[in-house]
Structure 1
Amino acid sequence: MDRSKPGASDRSVPAPAGSDFLHLVLEEAPLGGKSDWLARQIRAALADGRLPVGSRLPATRVLAGELGVSRGVVTEAYQRLIEDGHLAGRGRNGTVVVGAPAAATRATAVPRPAGRGNPSPPQALFAAEPGVDAFDAVRAARARIDLSPGVPDLAAFPRAAWLHAERRAVGSLAASDLGYGDPRGAPALRLAVAHWIARNRGIRADPDEVLIVAGTAQTLTLLGQVLYEDGIGAVAVEDPGPLGARQHLRHCRLDTPPVAVDSEGVRVDELRASGAAAVLLTPAHQFPTGVVLRGPRRTELLHWARDTGGLIVEDDYDAEHRYDRTPVPALRSVLADRVCYAGSVSKLLAPALRIGWVLAPPKYRDALVDAKRFADLGNAVLPQLALAQFMESGEMERQLRLLRRHHRRRRDAMITAIRSHLPHATVHGTAAGLHLTITFGAPFADTDLAAAAFARGVKVQPLSWHAQRPHRPGLVLGYAASTPTEIAEGVATLGEVLRQLL
């Protein structure tokens, strides 16, 4: 053959089969082990970050054609990684990455906050007292099964009803309504909120007392600024109590002395002994224990506020979600001049809306409005008007009834799974809310359990995150945003991990 002729060598020596995906070259695969080789290549890409969580893999038919192998070779490699918990088939959406090999899960599965330190190993992210960076990174990280607390059934968001409310709100707008608006919030929404809390929480309030904010997180930030400027240096918090709330208060330069919680609620004797002028509470469904503040303990707290002039910050975060108990009136309904009441739609509709409300005692009302004005001039008006339409039309009550049915089934599925896979765990706070808490008698670090579970694709929160003082090991498990099948699989994984840990 005359190899000097152009193209002669191309016809006699075929080009190596390969793919742009991970720069795979089939010649590197051993004879008779192509599926093993391909699985190893993908696993290595998962481990070093080339395929982060959420990445979509080529269709089996496409990749097989590029590599010049049978489709079965690619299908078998994908299936092995699916069984390992690294990939998941999503039907028409293809095959996506849902987890990384355990040795490198944190480096690949956890988004790194821009411009800040990069937490990497699991133990660093699940430290007993995580910093804001680590807490945000774990909260934002995707997992195969997410049992984090605090999120409702987002798949049940009433899209059609919300769109209808938006159309009605926009259709009735005057041109002047498209301006900056009142920093306290749209009058229509302040009125709707006043009606909602009167019907559902027993609170009688004038719409002028309602301040619309960007969720309870902004309530804590604005109130923290106001209290600090008023000379208050500490806000007592429940122990255990919500880590995120504690971090917001500390960001405002406030100390957060812990006050114990028992089966009756916050220990008011400890609150008195702390000397704090203010306290942050979740009295209708204490986070994370689920205890309800009732009877003598409730009366004792109200006496503390009247006797000392103390301020109660009432975070009414999920009081509407109840299943096996009667409703509990808000503290604000009986002591308006000493209670700053905070609520939102994050647990009723979706956190993405970023709409909440706060009712402050007269002493702090004007200062909070000023803080809101200088923070952002007020929430976006159009979503406020849509929410007002949604609430006043009765759609909010209909959505709440739907969610209660969904959440009850998922709670029951979680209790069943715990009994089966974690039989020695003690379950707390099942009568209401979007989460429950389990504690263990065995001595071990619950942060180790949470880190090991995350390496297996299951995300939970260790109870020690929410405690400032030593506490029995445990987990805080959200059930509202996961299907019963996901809940059962996630709890089964927790059982396997715990047996290995012990």
Structure 2
Amino acid sequence: MSDQGAAGSARVSGLDLHLIRGGGGARAGLMDAFREAIRSGRLLPGTRLPSSRALAADLGVGRNTVVRTYSELVNEGWLTARHGSGTEVSQRGVESVRARPRLRAAQALRRPVHDLRPGCPDLSSFPREEWVRAVKRAVGAAPLDAFGYSDTSGRVELREALARYLARARGLRTQADNIIVCSGAAEGLRLVAAALAAAGVKAVAVEEFGLPAQRRTLEKAGLAAPAIPIDTDGADIAVLDGRPNVGAVLLTPSHQFPLGVALHPDRRAAVVEWARRRGSVIIEDDYDGEFRYDRAPVGALQGLDPEHVIFLGTASKSLAPGLRLGWLVVPDHLVDAVARQKGETEETVGFVNQLAMADFIESGAYDRHIRAMRSQYGRRRHQLVEAVKQHSPASSVGGVPAGLHVLLEQAGRLTSADGRQAAWKRLAVEPLDLFRHPESRSVRDGLVAGFATPSPSAWSGALEALVRQLP
């Protein structure tokens, strides 16, 4: 604590206490400082306070001053003192915090009754025990340099593990030197966009339906983001030949988001040929490529031409977005340019999660988890399709059996029907329009519903609530 108008910290018996003392005598100033800290919510109900002796020593005031301050604040209801338990902030004395339950109640009213957001995994199935074991092994065996400033491209242990895994499971052709670890797909795309803009690229074509945040990332880097149409065979690659200003294209070839189609083999070959002919690059967002339910997952486009494809992957769908783990696989001629966008001192993902992820992959735990979730999600998608057929025969479920979401369509009735918009919000499903590019001429209308997010115990109720709303 400090003198008038200034902030300070009191270090007491292992507890740090920040107070702001106003004018007046020592006791009056101390009481005002406590009231301000409690009223503003900085000291929450139940917060333990230092002993009077320790606080007095750190603040340079008499112990009696602190004792009398505590006593008076107890009498006023700001603090609570219990014999043998010390002094703490009272539940009754916090004026500003009284509004918080109302705020939380309002937030609860806005939360969906069921969570069918597209593109989100079942967090309740996160493999906690195996992850904890991986963390313990990783930290226990970590070299000393891991605790310092890391290579901004990521720990070599993770990059080597990813190179082996991606080659084996996704069909990539790469090595650790081509991999850059990032904090997720959003950061990965930002790095790529900045590198392409710096190299003179003017435009990156995008699919006419996709994540608006990705389009904004490209535009923020100074890149135009024109739309290319999508049909049942995926993105219409042929239109790229008529757009000479386009220097790259962003695709979700394994499972298009949100329409759910896979890029046809002929178009996969065609877009690679376009990139070779034009000296351009393809940004492959492997959105949820591991999750295919009717056959083995489609191999990554990068395997067809590693020098013209930038592969963007993440653990957000396979494990959890909170890990903040993503990776770029970059062609040789672009590795340095993309890595430079992180800067010389910019931090990457924390070394603990990087080393734990490397262990998780190498131990086989990652494969086991993906296979288990693939089975669970596959069952859920099948149940959803069957429930829609039974309860709403006029509705259709679009896309191949893959990913964490489906597209529901019914000649425009799903989103336009009176009273249903509020119902969709309560279920957290999204209208297809949310993902439509401003240049799109498509007349398709529908809903994008996820089936992965609910916990196993909540899934049946969420599914029942969804089909009940279908006309």
Normalising by structure 2, what TM-score?
A: 0.73
SS of structure 2 residue aligned to 1:340: strand
Distance 1:422 1:398 in 2: 36
Amino acid in structure 1 at the alignment position of 2:447: L
What's 1:264 paired with? Answer: 233
- Is 1:51 equivalent to 2:51 in the alignment? no
Q: What stretches of structure 1 move > 3 A for 4+ residues in a row?
A: 48-53, 97-100, 442-451
Paired residue for 2:340, among 347, 350, 370?
370
Moved more, 394-403 or 266-275: 266-275
What's 2:122 paired with? Answer: 153
SS of structure 1 residue aligned to 2:229: strand
Distance 2:206 2:323 in 1: 27
Distance 2:417 2:319 in 1: 30
Structure 1 residues 170-218: Cα deviation after superposition (integer angstroms, max 9, x where no partner)? 1112333200111110010001100110110111211111100011110
SS of structure 2 residue aligned to 1:144: coil
- Whether the 8 Å contact between 1:98 and 1:144 is mirrored in structure 2 is no
What's 1:344 paired with? Answer: 314
Distance 1:450 1:217 in 2: 32
Paired residue for 2:448, among 443, 464, 476?
476
What's 2:22 paired with? Answer: none
Q: How do residues 86-125 of structure 1 correspond to structure 2 at under 5 angstroms? A: 100=109, 109=110
SS of structure 1 residue aligned to 2:313: strand
- Is 1:201 equivalent to 2:252 in the alignment? no
Amino acid in structure 2 at the alignment position of 1:480: A
Paired residue for 2:299, among 326, 329, 354?
329
Measured after TM superposition, the shift of residue 403 of structure 1 is 0.2
Measured after TM superposition, the shift of residue 447 of structure 1 is 10
What's 1:92 paired with? Answer: none
Amino acid in structure 2 at the alignment position of 1:169: A
What's 2:290 paired with? Answer: 320
Q: How do residues 72-221 of structure 1 correspond to structure 2 at under 5 angstroms? A: 100=109, 109=110, 142-221=111-190
Measured after TM superposition, the shift of residue 486 of structure 1 is 2.9
Measured after TM superposition, the shift of residue 251 of structure 1 is 2.5
Paired residue for 1:232, among 201, 216, 219?
201
Measured after TM superposition, the shift of residue 49 of structure 1 is 9.5
Structure 1 residues 343-390: Cα deviation after superposition (integer angstroms, max 9, x where no partner)? 111111001001111011223210111112357232211110011111
What's 2:469 paired with? Answer: 494
What's 1:438 paired with? Answer: 408
SS of structure 2 residue aligned to 1:197: helix
Query: Structure 1 residues 352, 155: CA separation in 2 closer, same or farther (over 3 Å shift)?
Result: same
Distance 2:233 2:451 in 1: 24
Distance 1:308 1:155 in 2: 46
Distance 1:295 1:51 in 2: 55
Amino acid in structure 1 at the alignment position of 2:444: R
Amino acid in structure 2 at the alignment position of 1:461: E
Distance 1:289 1:375 in 2: 40
- Whether the 8 Å contact between 1:414 and 1:484 is mirrored in structure 2 is no
- Whether the 8 Å contact between 2:414 and 2:420 is mirrored in structure 1 is no
What's 1:392 paired with? Answer: 362
- Is 1:281 equivalent to 2:248 in the alignment? no
Amino acid in structure 1 at the alignment position of 2:112: A
Query: Structure 1 residues 253, 186: CA separation in 2 closer, same or farther (over 3 Å shift)?
Result: same
What's 2:275 paired with? Answer: 305
- Whether the 8 Å contact between 1:211 and 1:369 is mirrored in structure 2 is yes
Could you list the runs of 5+ residues in structure 1 that have no partner in the other structure? 1-47, 56-96, 101-108, 110-141
- Whether the 8 Å contact between 1:311 and 1:338 is mirrored in structure 2 is yes
Paired residue for 1:407, among 364, 377, 389?
377
Measured after TM superposition, the shift of residue 440 of structure 1 is 2.1
Distance 2:282 2:167 in 1: 19
SS of structure 2 residue aligned to 1:51: helix
Identity rate, percent? 37
Paired residue for 1:293, among 229, 252, 263?
263
Distance 1:430 1:395 in 2: 27
Amino acid in structure 2 at the alignment position of 1:166: V
Measured after TM superposition, the shift of residue 421 of structure 1 is 3.7
Moved more, 474-483 or 386-395: 474-483
What's 2:68 paired with? Answer: none
Paired residue for 1:254, among 200, 205, 223?
223
Distance 1:166 1:50 in 2: 37
- Is 1:485 equivalent to 2:460 in the alignment? yes
Amino acid in structure 1 at the alignment position of 2:306: A
Measured after TM superposition, the shift of residue 450 of structure 1 is 7.0
Structure 1 residues 232-285: Cα deviation after superposition (integer angstroms, max 9, x where no partner)? 221100112222322222222322111011111111111222331110000011
Measured after TM superposition, the shift of residue 434 of structure 1 is 0.7
- Whether the 8 Å contact between 2:291 and 2:297 is mirrored in structure 1 is no
- Whether the 8 Å contact between 2:406 and 2:448 is mirrored in structure 1 is yes
- Whether the 8 Å contact between 2:415 and 2:447 is mirrored in structure 1 is no
Q: How do residues 29-48 of structure 1 correspond to structure 2 at under 5 angstroms? A: none
What's 2:88 paired with? Answer: none
Distance 1:257 1:272 in 2: 13
Could you list the runs of 5+ residues in structure 2 that have no partner in the other structure? 1-98
- Whether the 8 Å contact between 1:257 and 1:274 is mirrored in structure 2 is no
Query: Structure 1 residues 321, 375: CA separation in 2 closer, same or farther (over 3 Å shift)?
Result: farther
Normalising by structure 1, what TM-score?
A: 0.69
Query: Structure 1 residues 260, 167: CA separation in 2 closer, same or farther (over 3 Å shift)?
Result: same
Query: Structure 1 residues 490, 98: CA separation in 2 closer, same or farther (over 3 Å shift)?
Result: farther
Q: How do residues 4-23 of structure 1 correspond to structure 2 at under 5 angstroms? A: none
What's 2:428 paired with? Answer: 459
- Whether the 8 Å contact between 2:292 and 2:401 is mirrored in structure 1 is yes
Query: Structure 1 residues 493, 274: CA separation in 2 closer, same or farther (over 3 Å shift)?
Result: farther
Query: Structure 1 residues 431, 368: CA separation in 2 closer, same or farther (over 3 Å shift)?
Result: same
Query: Structure 1 residues 241, 232: CA separation in 2 closer, same or farther (over 3 Å shift)?
Result: same
